[in-house]
Amino acid sequence: MSTHSGPGSAEALQRSWAEKRVLIAGGLGFIGSNLAHQLIEAGAVVSLIDCLRPEYGGNEFNIEGIRDGVMVKVADLRESETMAELVHAQDFLFNLAGQTSHLDSMRDPWTDMEMNCRAQLSLLEACRQNNPAMRIVFASTRQIYGVPKYIPVDEKHPLAPVDVNGANKLAGENYHLVYGRAYGMHVSVLRLTNTYGPRMRVKDERQTFLGVWLRQLIEGQPIRIFGDGKQIRDFNFVDDVITALLLAADEAQADGSIFNLGSSETINLRDLAELLIEINGEGVIDQVEFPPDRKSIDIGDYYSDYRLISETLGWQPRVNLRDGLARTLAFYRQHHEHYWP
Amino acid sequence: MSTHSGPGSAEALQRSWAEKRVLIAGGLGFIGSNLAHQLIEAGAVVSLIDCLRPEYGGNEFNIEGIRDGVMVKVADLRESETMAELVHAQDFLFNLAGQTSHLDSMRDPWTDMEMNCRAQLSLLEACRQNNPAMRIVFASTRQIYGVPKYIPVDEKHPLAPVDVNGANKLAGENYHLVYGRAYGMHVSVLRLTNTYGPRMRVKDERQTFLGVWLRQLIEGQPIRIFGDGKQIRDFNFVDDVITALLLAADEAQADGSIFNLGSSETINLRDLAELLIEINGEGVIDQVEFPPDRKSIDIGDYYSDYRLISETLGWQPRVNLRDGLARTLAFYRQHHEHYWP
């Protein structure tokens, strides 16, 4: 575990995870694999399922160092027999599987629906039929709020996704809450904001722009910004997100709840690019026109109100942006050959 | 058309529908077929598509009297070539297709997702690719609000569907709004509350309880109420819903909007049963325990705040409950052999 301390920290959780049986869906992806690293260190018995579709976040290198300590199943959540076996006898399920590209969801809404609706139903049905007592945490997204009507955005903000991906992620979130209420299952939901850190997918522009920027910086290319870069965002370093996932899984009072994650350290995209360049020691910015397909689904300024999880579960983000970005940059500088050609 | 008058009435709309080309998805179902009757009378050129799955609301008898005046295609919205042909050259699409049984959605979430998510995406893609200028009205449901946090429920009420059907209907609504915003298509959404009237499906208990009660009454059986029947509901006679659909389609200011329907005449289920018996002249009530599968998805009291559509489009429900129920009872007394064995 990391060097956090105090209530709600990863350290405080460490004791309770020894020998616990944990399944991570999307376990070879960005957040799933970082979670696996921390759980292994805490003594948990960890299984990962990932479909490893090349356009998604799964990457074999993400479990470098813990490969011998985890069970890995490369399969699709829609394979019901596989799922029945996998969920059986687990204590916890962290559900981080899903298609996350906004643009892909508009180009091919069917695949997005398969991965974010059908696959989620399949997983939940497997749990209901084979292990309804397990504790489940679903990673949802701030994307379902759409264009903010006010900021910071709290959990009561209207839901108005701007793309098919958001509509389907919202369906996935609702399936989890429906199964929780109708079948008495133990489900909680975290709505993640922009998460960054080691093991993000940075192969192309499908997922986070921040990954693309890191690659541009390491390759000595200009960092490309769409429009004036004045949009404000909040960012969580992945370790902080993992602490939130563990807290939500561990606390019975999280049952049936929805919690925003977020950060008090907000920044506009231009300043973020400049901070990255400063940390890197060199680099330039290339400001370009907003491509129409991105502009039509852009949401303007966004940052979360995360007081609910703070007050209920004692969670606080602990890694500041400068440190987090420095650690992320160092990771990709060392390992970039595993993340892009 | 009916005998309504004044702003927002069906009569006021009559002039503008002559020669208009209109496609109704779910056109052999309850609301779709009533809409078809009114549009034919108003001189529109009407096409209907319906999958006619026996467990859904489609019924050939629903177009008795207008059969020769409409084009009917029995097909599934997921058949993309059929859809491409059908949406081509239409001025309007009324989208009333969908799986509506709450219980079926919990027993078989996959089929519900196919009909309420995939089929909706298929329809929207057909429109986007072949006729993005047409005006589209999507029939959503008050069900997506879940258990009311306050009543009357306005459009800003939090969305928390209690069953898989609600989660998928919400996804369908969001797809429509996403296509409207991202592609500049003309889409509006009506969130219907309990709608009743001639041509409801009353074959079994899959859809409305009110249809089942009418059947019980006509067959001389007791009207069966789950629990104490104290839950308050609002009801719209189908003609009023059709007026709302036509207004939303006809008014450019409805673009991108979501409107609740509702009624100022609310009633609890026990009183509704007694009113039905009074109108019928005879009948008894049989109060039974709430079955657990229904109880887990029951929402308690509900009625809508429909001021937004009232103020924006001038819509008001005009058929009172007593008259609407009498007309409905008379319809089934005459035609019941086409609605149940």
Residue B283, domain member (yes or no):
no
The band of B55, judged by pLDDT with boundaries at 50, 70 and 90, is confident
Residue B341, domain member (yes or no):
no
Residue B105, domain member (yes or no):
yes
Residue B46, domain member (yes or no):
yes
pLDDT at A15 over 70: no
E strand spans, chain A: 21-25, 45-50, 71-74, 92-95, 135-141, 186-192, 194-196, 223-226, 232-237, 258-260, 266-268, 285-288
Residue A233 buriedness (CB in 10 A; 0-12 / 13-18 / 19+): buried
When CB atoms are compared, the residue of A160, A163, A178 closest to B161 is A178
Q: What is the pLDDT of residue A13?
A: 63
Residue A4, domain member (yes or no):
no
Q: What is the pLDDT of residue B206?
A: 65
- Residue of B120, B140, B170, B174 to mutate, interface with A, max A Cβ within 10 Å: B174
CB contact under 8 A, B167 and A159: no
Put simply, whether A125 touches B (Cβ < 8 Å) is yes
pLDDT at B229 over 50: yes
Mean pLDDT of chain B: 91
pLDDT at B301 over 60: yes
CB contact under 8 A, A177 and B160: yes
What was the ipTM of the complex prediction?
0.92
* Cα B339 from Cα B169, distance rounded (Å): 26
Closest residue, chain A, to B162 (C-alpha): A178
Q: What is the pLDDT of residue B296?
A: 73
Put simply, whether B168 touches A (Cβ < 8 Å) is yes
Domain residues for the domain of A24 are: 10-197+235-264+303-319
Q: What is the pLDDT of residue A199?
A: 95
Per-residue pLDDT, averaged over A207-232, amounts to: 90
The band of A145, judged by pLDDT with boundaries at 50, 70 and 90, is very high
Question: What pLDDT digit, counting tens, does each position of B238-250 carry?
Answer: 999 999 999 999 9
Upper half-sphere CA count for residue B88 (Cβ side, 13 Å)? 8
Question: What pLDDT digit, counting tens, does each position of A71-81 carry?
Answer: 999 889 888 89
Q: At A305, give phi and psi (nearest 5°).
A: -95, 115
The verdict on whether omega for the bond into residue A222 sits within 30 degrees of 0, i.e. cis, is: no
Put simply, whether B171 touches A (Cβ < 8 Å) is yes
Q: How many domains does chain A have?
A: 1
Residue B5, domain member (yes or no):
no
Lowest-confidence region among A198-202, A235-239, A295-299: A295-299
Whole-number percent of chain B with pLDDT over 90? 78
Residue B175, domain member (yes or no):
yes
Task: State how far Cα B171 lies from the chain centre.
Answer: 17
Question: What pLDDT digit, counting tens, does each position of B4-50 carry?
Answer: 444 455 555 656 899 999 999 999 999 999 999 999 999 999 999 99
The band of B202, judged by pLDDT with boundaries at 50, 70 and 90, is confident
Query: Residue A72 belongs to a domain with what CATH number?
Result: 3.40.50.720
* A205 or B3, greater pLDDT: A205
Per-residue pLDDT, averaged over B157-183, amounts to: 96
Residues in A 54-83 with any Cβ partner in B closer than 8 A: none
Whole-number percent of chain B with pLDDT over 70? 94
Residue A245, domain member (yes or no):
yes
CB contacts, 8 Å: A175 with chain B: 109, 164, 167
